[in-house]
Chains A and B, each alone.
Chain A
């Protein structure tokens, strides 16, 4: 092991540690064509589904009043208008691209691919089924739930990436300290502050946000992490590691910024309402399951 904080002893010797081309080259060396094919297959599939006649697409959407196993799955790949599709594809490319890069550079490619496969194949059923908990006359569709799952995976990937690149001593177990404030952040975004009563939505968002931050602080202190120190060290690592640090910073920005996109303050549109519930479910499930596996050491490579 060298003294450089951004290297691991078993990494390729071709990498020059302090330059961006080093990141690009290392990425290029680690990326597998089949992974890229899988990653690209998703937007292709979404596009193909979008090419179907609208009546067919509607029949593939998940009707809560008439749920079927088939539509529980297909609904997540159905989009009814092009802006909806474009938003989800763009979100997917961002999250999956950054996530994949973080994963391969951290040596967690398998972890990422398994998680992605799970999100694509199993999450649709889980998310649709959980949606039935709130019965209503509506149809659900769209890839965003799975996108949000990728966002939920992001803190884990950032964690393993940071541990691999910057803080070899860091523990993955401290990651819920990031998760709880993020959930609180989503609550603040989705539940607007208004002058309602204590039981109204006016304070609920803020309250959940504060609770999330407090939980994060508690969790961090219980795992021996000093938050201010960790933040400072992270910032230092990002700044002092060109390329790798930039990727880390981009990941963090996505992690904080994506909830703003996924949890609009007013989710209602003309004749439709954005399903925030599915977004939150996707994020939480995608964090909790993989975190448990990570913490158990299932993907240590």
Chain B
């Protein structure tokens, strides 16, 4: 029976490696697993007998323990790794890659006594990485060299980490054309007749394979928005050809984006293809935007979306994911851009768009509809955000075009709110009220201030009188204050002069003169 003095302690814990983040994919792991990197990497004990050395601890972390403290080892005679031995424990745990990219996977661990191996080869360090296809696993074992170690001591460090990196693109898009054949994969030809056009062709495609076309920053809206890659998934043809063309504006023979939440179109992408609709399962579009451009246009990356034009001419929205910064780093994408990914099952003209808030006034009420000078009137405006993005606006009440009150309102999509805009009106008269600051200015009706019998009409006289009043410079400036009262809310009382206009009085005198002249004329007419 071996004693503890003859064995070493080998207990390792996988570091939950937050930096290992992949794009989201479906997990194919049966049973419990230690997943990380957005669940795109899963680690679980291997199926074979050596899998017992690995187990998930209470924190669901993978732990490797080759000692008697391992709860999986029921054999009471097992004591651990012997001193002065070399050997390999194969297939202790498996790393499975569950996303839809190729990934290089390796293990970071520093110990001269313990080496992580796969198929007998070390996988420690990036140089020794193994490449995993989607849903591919690698079984990892341990190579031990315990020569020169003292019994009872801990063997190696406590923790190790698994590192992964999306495999670099196999082919590089050329300025004119490039052809690349990956090992066992299809032959892909990319031609770039212009900045905004790519012609892709792929041949020797395995049944159901994914074909990846690198667009290499094809312009959709100049360099502001570019198409970076098109992936055709589940291709059932032996060869496919795809032409992609980008435009900031609708194509000459196409329609402009017109969809219910009134998104703002950013760019259009026409995808012509030589395959039938059912020959490909789906197309994933990867595109990116200049953050400065997004900022300048007030576009939140989360509001960027894609619409596909259906055969009927309608625009159907496709969900768009913003690619996480860590994944951008991991995939070696340009970090100075915002990257997006969208998938569509049918391929046709697409519009890159941004959801925008759209604030409309749906109802307004004025209360009261008539006030005395100096009183306050309140306009209640019901405002709805009919757009696809949340937003905040400052809604302004205008009287005869002049702003008199404002209120900020923030609304989520399809949310409705009522704002009360109150203002005092000093100067008598009729005010045309409107609610501005929304996407369409809304008429809010008419407010009558002052004598309700005197509204409207063509009273030049009153205007002239009022003007003369405002112009009374000799009066010590009071005329000015009367004029100011018209321009906005103030505490000044309205002036109610009871008077008549000189010009109209002249008209009256003319009438009197006419009557007298008429009487005189009538007097001279011969009587019958």
Query: Does B41 touch A at the CB level, under 8 Å?
Result: no
Contact B494 A269 (CB under 8 A): no
* Interface contact B496-A275, CB-CB below 8 Å: yes
Is A130 close to B, CB under 8 A?
Answer: no
Chain B residues contacting A203 (CB-CB under 8 Å) are none
Nearest CB of A to B269, in Å: 53
| Smallest CB gap from A242: residue in B | B523
Does B260 reach chain A (CB closer than 8 Å)? no
With A271-B486, A276-B451 known as contacts, the answer to whether A84 contacts B497 (CB < 8 A) is yes
Provide the A47-74 mask, 1 if CB < 8 A to any CB of B, else 0. Answer: 0000001110010000111000000000
Interchain CA distance A136-B454 in the complex, whole Å: 15
A267-B459 contact given A253-B515, A274-B499, CB 8 Å threshold? yes
Does B462 lie within 8 Å of A269, measured CB to CB?
yes
Report the separation of the CA atoms of residues A64 and B458 in the bound assembly, to the nearest whole angstrom: 28
Nearest-neighbor residue (CB-CB) of B509 within chain A? A94
Segment of B168-176, B206-214, B317-325, B471-479 in the binding face? B471-479
A190 near B453 with CB under 8 A, answer yes
Would A81 and B453 count as touching, CB distance under 8 A? no
Contact check: which of A134, A258, A262, A268 meets B372 at CB < 8 Å? Answer: A134
Pairwise interchain contact A257-B496, C-beta atoms closer than 8 A:
no
A288 to chain B, nearest CB (A): 19
Binds B, one of A4-12, A140-148, A177-185, A209-217: A140-148
Docked-complex contact B461 and A270, CB < 8 angstroms:
no
Contact A275 B462 (CB under 8 A): no
Q: Which B residues, 348 to 387, have Cβ-Cβ distances below 8 Å to chain A?
A: 372-375
Among B373, B484, B505, contact of A91 (Cβ-Cβ < 8 Å) = B505
- CB nearest to B512 among chain A residues: A253
B1 at the interface (CB under 8 A from A): no
A2 CB within 8 Å of chain B: no
Contact at B469–A81, with CB atoms within 8 Å?
Answer: yes
* 0 or 1 for each of A78-94: is its CB under 8 Å from B? (1 = yes): 01111110111011001
Q: Does B485 contact A (CB under 8 A)?
A: yes
Q: Convert A123-165 into 0s and 1s, putting 1 for each residue whose CB lies closer than 8 angstroms to a CB of B.
A: 0000000000011111111111101100000000000000000
Distance from A133 Cβ to chain B, minimum over Cβ atoms (Å): 12
Given A137-B373, A277-B451: A271 touches B498 (CB 8 Å cut-off): no
Known: A84-B468, A84-B469, A239-B519. A58 touches B478 (CB 8 A): yes
User: Which A residues are CB-close (under 8 A) to B497?
Assistant: 79-80, 84, 140-142, 144, 272, 274-275
Q: Is A245 an interface residue (CB 8 A)?
A: yes
A136 touches B373 (CB 8 A): yes
Docked complex Cα distance between A194 and B504 (Å): 23
Q: Which of B466, B505, B514 contacts A271 (CB 8 A)?
A: B466
Q: Does A114 contact B (CB under 8 A)?
A: no
Given contact pairs A94-B508, A271-B484, A137 touches B465 in the complex (Cβ within 8 A): no
Given contacts A91-B500, A266-B459, contact A139 B515 (CB under 8 A): no
Evaluate contact between A88 and B494: CB separation under 8 angstroms.
no
Contact A138 B519, CB 8 Å, known A268-B466, A272-B495: no
A260 near B475 with CB under 8 A, answer: no
* Nearest A residue (CB) for B477: A54
Given A249-B515, A271-B495, residue A83 in contact with residue B453 (CB < 8 A) = no
Tell me if A107 is interfacial: C-beta within 8 Å of chain B: no
Pairwise interchain contact B493-A267, C-beta atoms closer than 8 A: no
Q: Return chain A residues, CB-CB under 8 Å to B484.
A: 271
- Known contacts A190-B454, A261-B501; decide if A270 and B494 are in contact (CB<8 Å): no
B456 contacts A265, C-beta separation under 8 Å: yes
Interface SS of chain B: helix
Interface centre among A86, A239, A271, A273 (most CB of B within 10 A): A271
Contact of A265 among B372, B457, B476, B518 (CB under 8 A): B457
Cβ 8 A contact of A250, one of B372, B479, B493, B516: B516
Say whether B15 faces chain A, with CB atoms less than 8 Å apart.
no
Interface presence of B455 (CB below 8 A): yes
Task: Tell me whether B479 and A81 are in contact (CB under 8 A).
Answer: yes
Q: Which of A65, A83, A194 has the most CB of B within 10 A?
A: A83
Known: A201-B452, A264-B504, A274-B496. A138 touches B466 (CB 8 A): no
* Complex: A243 Cα to B198 Cα, angstroms: 103
Docked-complex contact B372 and A138, CB < 8 angstroms: yes
- Interfacial chain B residues near A80, Cβ < 8 Å: 469, 472, 475, 478-479, 495, 497
Q: A109 at the A/B interface (Cβ < 8 Å)?
A: no
B92 within 8 A of A: no
Query: Does B486 lie within 8 Å of A270, measured CB to CB?
Result: yes
- Does A192 reach chain B (CB closer than 8 Å)? yes
Contacts A84-B468, A88-B500, A91-B500 given; does A273 touch B459 at CB 8 Å? no
A272 touches B496 (CB 8 A): yes
- Min CB distance B481 to A, Å, is 8
Q: Establish whether residues A90 and B462, one from each chain, have CB atoms under 8 Å apart when the complex forms.
A: no
A159 to B221, CA, bound (A): 88
Query: Which residues of chain A from 259 to 301 have a CB within 8 Å of any chain B CB?
Result: 260-262, 264-279
A240 within 8 A of B: yes
Given contacts A58-B478, A94-B508, contact A272 B459 (CB under 8 A): no
A139 with B495: CB separation less than 8 A? yes
Residues in A with CB closer than 8 Å to B494 are 136-139, 271-273
Residues of B contacting A96 with CB < 8 Å?
A: none
Give the one of A262, A266, A276 with max B CB within 10 A. A266
Q: In this assembly, does A246 line the interface, its C-beta being within 8 Å of a C-beta of chain B?
A: yes
Indicate if B327 sits at the interface (CB-CB under 8 A). Answer: no
> Is A268 touching B505 in the complex (CB atoms < 8 A)?
no
Closest residue of A by beta carbon distance from B427: A271
Known: A79-B499, A192-B457, A269-B464. 12 other contacts (CB 8 A): A65-B493, A76-B498, A94-B509, A138-B374, A138-B495, A190-B453, A194-B456, A201-B456, A246-B519, A264-B501, A271-B426, A273-B496
Q: Which residues of A contact B (CB under 8 A)?
A: 53-55, 58, 63-65, 76, 79-84, 86-88, 90-91, 94, 134-145, 147-148, 190-192, 194, 201, 235, 238-240, 242, 245-246, 249-250, 252-254, 256-258, 260-262, 264-279
Q: Which residues of B contact A (CB under 8 A)?
A: 372-375, 426-430, 450-472, 475-476, 478-479, 481-486, 492-502, 504-505, 507-509, 511-512, 514-516, 518-520, 522-523
A selection of 26 A-B contacts at a CB cut-off of 8 Å is: A63-B493, A76-B498, A82-B472, A83-B502, A84-B469, A87-B501, A87-B505, A88-B499, A90-B502, A137-B374, A137-B426, A137-B493, A139-B496, A141-B495, A147-B500, A245-B519, A257-B512, A264-B457, A266-B460, A266-B462, A268-B450, A269-B462, A270-B463, A271-B481, A273-B496, A278-B496
Top-9 shortest CB links A-B: A269-B466, A265-B457, A266-B459, A137-B374, A136-B372, A271-B482, A192-B457, A273-B428, A264-B459
